[in-house]
Structures are given as C-alpha cells and as structure tokens.
Amino acid sequence: MTELKATFPKGFLWGGATAANQFEGAYLEGGKGLTIADISPGGKERMALLRSNDYPLEINEAKYTYPNHVGIDFYHRYQEDIALFAEMGFKTFRMSISWARIFPNGDDAEPNEAGLQYYENVIDELKKHNIEPTITISHYETPLHLVKEYGGWKNRQLIDLFEKYARTILERFHKKVTYWMTFNEINTGILGSFFTLGMRNESLQNNFQALHNQFVASSKAVKIAHELNPDIKIGCMSIYATMYAYDSNPDNVMGMVEENRMFNYFCNDVQVRGEYPTYALKYFERNNITLDIQPGELDLMKEHTVDYLSFSYYMSSAFSKNPEHSDKSQGNFFGGVKNPFLEASEWGWEIDPVGLRIALCDLYGRYGVPLYISENGLGAIDQPDANFYVTDDYRIDYLRKHIEEMEKAIRLDGVDLFAYTPWGCIDLVSASTGEMAKRYGFIYVDLDDEGNGTMNRYKKKSFDWYQQVIATNGANLANN
Ligand code: BG6
C-alpha cells in the first residue's frame, strides 16, 4: 500500500516565480536579440493590440511605453534580489531563460556566450544560497526574428531551432539545475495567444499545428534532458482554471465538460500521457484540422513524456449556455460567466481557493504524476507608506487561503504536490497589461508605469509572513 503523506512533505519546494521578459530589463544588453515580449507595449490595451493584425511587429516608442524594457533591472541587481529570496527561505526560484539572450535571432549558428554566462552567474548565485533553480525554457520569449521571418510556431523549422536552443542550455546547466519546464502555459495556444505561438489571428488549423510543433519540441527537450542527466525532472506547464457548470442544467454541464477538456486537459493529456486524446481527434475532424505529423513524431511524444505536471492557478471559471448569463468574468486569457459565489480581484479575476484543491484532486486523479504549482497570487495595487512599507494583508489573505487548500489536498486527498512558487515574488511587469501597477510581490519595487522611481527594493508585510510559512514548512500560516 502506498504511504499516505501528511501535510507538507519534508523537502517541499517553497519559492517564487518570475519570467525573464517581465523582470530582467536590459532588453538589448549582453548581445540579446528582440523577443516577442519586447515589441509588446505596456498598458491595458496590450492584449487587444497584440490580437489586431495591423499592430506592427516593431517597437514604436513615439506611441507606446515598454515597461518591460527596463523591467525591474534584475539583470543588474540579481545578487541583491537573490539575497532577499534567500532571507525569505526560498527552496526554489522559478525563472526563465530568454531564448534571445542565447540565440539573439533564434536561428544563429553559434550561441551567445555572454547570455550563457549571465545565466550561469544567476544560477551560481542561487546555488550559493542553497536555492534550487527551476528553469522555464520558453516563457513567452520566442525571438522576434522567428516570428517575422518564419511566421512563428506553425513553421516546423522552429522545432529544430528550439531543439538546438534547449540542447545548448541543457548541456551547459544540466549538472547545476534539476528542475525544468518546457513551455509556459502552453494551453493558451488553443486560444491563439501571440505570446505562446508568435502568431496572431490565424486559423484553428495553424494554431493546432503550432501546438503540435511545440509538443514535438517539448518531447525533444525532455529526451535531451534525460540523456544528459537521468536525475533531471522536467515538466510541462499549463494554466489551469477550475471549470464549473453555472448550474445543474445538463446542457451547461456538458458545455463545461467540453471546455474543460480542450482548455484544461488537452495539452496535459498529450504531454503527460504522450498521445492525442480521442476527444481532440474528434474536435480536429469537426473543425477540418489536419495536422502535419512527420514519421516518428508520435513515437517520440509517447516515449518522452514529462516527469511532473506544473500549472498556474489564479482563478476558476463558470460555464453557461444561457444567454441571460451574459455577465462575463475577466481573466488573463479567458473569462467565463460571473460566479455569484466568488469575489474578484481589482482586475476582475475571480478568487477561488477551494477551486485550487479541486484542481489538485482533478489533476492528480487524472494523471497520477507529481504536481508543481508554478504560479498563483493576487495582482493588486499596493499603497506604500512614507517608508515604502506595504501592509498587504489582502495578499497574505489570498495566499494563506490557497495554501490551506493545498495542505488539505495533501493531507486529506493524498495528492503528491511537491512545489509552490507564487507568481511575481518580487514586483514585476504584468504579462496581460504590461504595467507595473499590478503587483504580486513580497518585495516592493519603487517604480511606476512611467519609469519613475529609484528601483529600490522594500520588504512588504507579506515578506515576513511568507518567511514564517517557509520556516515552519507551512504549519504556521497566521498573519500576526
Ligand atoms: C501567467 C503568466 O499567465 O500569469 C505570467 O505565466 C503572468 O507571465 C501571470 O505574469 C500573471 O498575469 P498578469 O497578467 O497579471 O501579469
């Protein structure tokens, strides 16, 4: 009989999560090329702009701001920031490697040593503080050149280019880094996300071909990682939004089942189970989608599945076919109908801690592989006092309630959860709105959307709280 785990297991990986394009800044330093994030403007209209085909794939400083070009300058301040993470007691730190720091155009013959050295320095600094890096190989950072010249991920050539990039960083860091993830929130590709696919407003056919190419690329990375070091743990990463039927109307329940399959399961089914599920094959048939699958690719995907499943969890979603339920909730990539039982963040994301336990039970029940919550948190407007201290009880409250549900999932449901990295552990630029105003961090960064501020770092109230959570391995969640 399997031994049942009680509360947070010894060695649980508490930490925090970031992405290169949202906090490094130094967007043209060290030989780096442009990525799709670098041409994405700041401001609430960001997502709509990126969906519109006439938005140019160029930087236009006369018209837009680009807060992510400076980010929070982690590129130069990583030692100070990592020392703060260490003070909080981080066991792991999730970061991405920006592909264009390693291959500035994505198709260069040789890697950029300055980029490799920069990441080696960051990794060494983390290890010096006994923090295990978790590296996302691709977090919305496809080199821009691959979008402009190759048409983004629908082009099969990106598989080989990605393989070369993944091999380069895995060969360099496989002895120092155990935890890896391939594509961030890969399932946003189903919605045609520019960040994920490097394509805008294309057909379902192209979106699913692009995803297929990413599945193959991901399996290649898994294969390389395991060949280099069998101890490496490499996972997939999806957004998970717990789906509810708005009510017990069977039509709404069936609609929820369909949404849930394509959004929450499809990419995980392929990457964890190693094959296209039958419901997806039927979906392809109905929508006249014919994938170009080369010989050997399905075998590769079957043979090189991921070691663990990671997911971001911010909110749940309710489904209704009833036109009277027209009041929509907001989300970073999607929004269902408003759930009358839930409150929402200032950005309209519905807050649902119990939904996280449901997610953990659902995913562990379906796949039986270890789970890693690679993002979770509350984006909020912080009001620092005269000493730059932020009393962020709202953030503590959000995180505490989610951690309580994680604890129940481990203790009561037997879920194998091994890591938790709240998003934006230090304030950084938002992905959906490209602004600094939406903050998630335990550490306040003195910087506004117009670039004003010293960029000095200040501990928020949640810093001390999270330190205590980690020190007690999740046993003391009290907000004193
Ligand atoms: C996830 C992304 O969708 O949500 C992150 O992986 C992103 O890159 C995070 O920052 C929070 O979203 P936002 O839009 O509030 O920054």
> Domain range spanning residue 438?
13-471
The atom of ligand 1 lying closest to the CA of 440 is 15
How many angstroms separate the alpha carbon of residue 90 from the centre of ligand 1?
Answer: 21
Whether 477 maps to a domain, the answer reads no
Q: At what angle do helices 113-128 and 157-173 cross, to 10 degrees?
A: 50
Whether 204 maps to a domain, the answer reads yes
- The pLDDT > 70 percentage for the chain reads 97
- The pLDDT > 90 percentage for the chain reads 90
Q: Is the CB of 375 under 6 A from ligand 1?
A: yes
**pLDDT-based confidence at residue 333 (cuts at 50, 70, 90):** low
Place of tokens 């290890």: 127
Q: Is the CB of 403 under 6 A from ligand 1?
A: no
How many angstroms separate the alpha carbon of residue 147 from the centre of ligand 1?
Answer: 21
Give me the pLDDT at residue 47, please: 85
pLDDT at residue 329 greater than cutoff 80: no
CATH number at residue 194: 3.20.20.80
Whether 211 maps to a domain, the answer reads yes
pLDDT tens string 79-117: 999 999 999 999 999 999 999 999 999 999 999 999 999
pTM of the predicted model, to two decimals? 0.97
Residues 6+ apart with CB under 8 A from 270: 215, 276, 277, 280, 301
Give me the pLDDT at residue 251, please: 95
Whether 358 maps to a domain, the answer reads yes
Residue whose CA is at the smallest distance from ligand 1 atom 2: 431
Which of 184, 351, 430 is the pocket-test mutation for ligand 1 (most atoms within 8 Å of CB)? Answer: 430
**pLDDT-based confidence at residue 347 (cuts at 50, 70, 90):** confident
Q: Is the CB of 431 under 6 A from ligand 1?
A: yes
How many angstroms separate the alpha carbon of residue 312 from the centre of ligand 1?
Answer: 9
More confident residue, 181 or 324: 181
Residue whose CA is at the smallest distance from ligand 1 atom 15: 430
Whether 6 maps to a domain, the answer reads no
Q: Is the CB of 438 under 6 A from ligand 1?
A: yes
How many angstroms separate the alpha carbon of residue 39 from the centre of ligand 1?
Answer: 17
How many angstroms separate the alpha carbon of residue 430 from the centre of ligand 1?
Answer: 6
The atom of ligand 1 lying closest to the CA of 332 is 14
Give me the pLDDT at residue 400, please: 98
Phi, psi (degrees; rounded to nearest 5) at 330: -100, 165
Output b/e per residue, 133-155; b: 16+ Cβ within 10 A: bbbbbbbbbbbbbbbbebbbbbb
Q: Is the CB of 430 under 6 A from ligand 1?
A: yes
Give me the pLDDT at residue 261, please: 96
Sign of CA pseudo-dihedral 216, 217, 218, 224 = positive
**pLDDT-based confidence at residue 2 (cuts at 50, 70, 90):** low
Which of 141, 311, 332 is the pocket-test mutation for ligand 1 (most atoms within 8 Å of CB)? Answer: 332
Which of 375, 378, 395, 440 is the pocket-test mutation for ligand 1 (most atoms within 8 Å of CB)? Answer: 375
Whether 75 maps to a domain, the answer reads yes
Whether 480 maps to a domain, the answer reads no
15 to each of 45, 238, 409, how far by Cα in Å?
Answer: 31, 18, 19
Give me the pLDDT at residue 252, please: 94
Give me the pLDDT at residue 421, please: 99
**pLDDT-based confidence at residue 210 (cuts at 50, 70, 90):** very high
How many helices and strands (H and E) does the chain possess? Answer: 16, 14
The atom of ligand 1 lying closest to the CA of 19 is 8
Q: Kindly state the helix (H) or strand (E) to which residue 182 belongs, with its residue range.
A: strand 179-183
What is the bridge-based pairing of β-strands 371-375 and 308-312?
parallel
How many angstroms separate the alpha carbon of residue 213 from the centre of ligand 1?
Answer: 23
**pLDDT-based confidence at residue 334 (cuts at 50, 70, 90):** low
Whether 5 maps to a domain, the answer reads no
pLDDT tens string 423-466: 999 999 999 999 999 999 999 999 999 999 999 999 999 999 99
**pLDDT-based confidence at residue 5 (cuts at 50, 70, 90):** low
Note if 297 is an active site residue: no
Tokens standing for residue 60: 């236009």
The atom of ligand 1 lying closest to the CA of 188 is 3
Active-site choice (24, 125, 132, 375):
375
Which of 46, 194, 423 is the pocket-test mutation for ligand 1 (most atoms within 8 Å of CB)? Answer: 423
Give me the pLDDT at residue 370, please: 98
Q: What is the mean pLDDT of residues 225-249?
A: 97
Residue whose CA is at the smallest distance from ligand 1 atom 10: 431
**pLDDT-based confidence at residue 335 (cuts at 50, 70, 90):** low
Give me the pLDDT at residue 474, please: 96
How many angstroms separate the alpha carbon of residue 377 from the centre of ligand 1?
Answer: 10
Dihedral (Cα; 312, 404, 355, 360), 10-degree rounding: 60
Q: What is the mean pLDDT of residues 248-262?
A: 95
Rounded CA gap, 230 and 223, in Å? Answer: 10
Q: How many CB atoms lie within 10 A of CB 125?
A: 19
Tally of domains within the chain: 1
pLDDT at residue 6 greater than cutoff 70: no
How many angstroms separate the alpha carbon of residue 424 from the centre of ligand 1?
Answer: 8
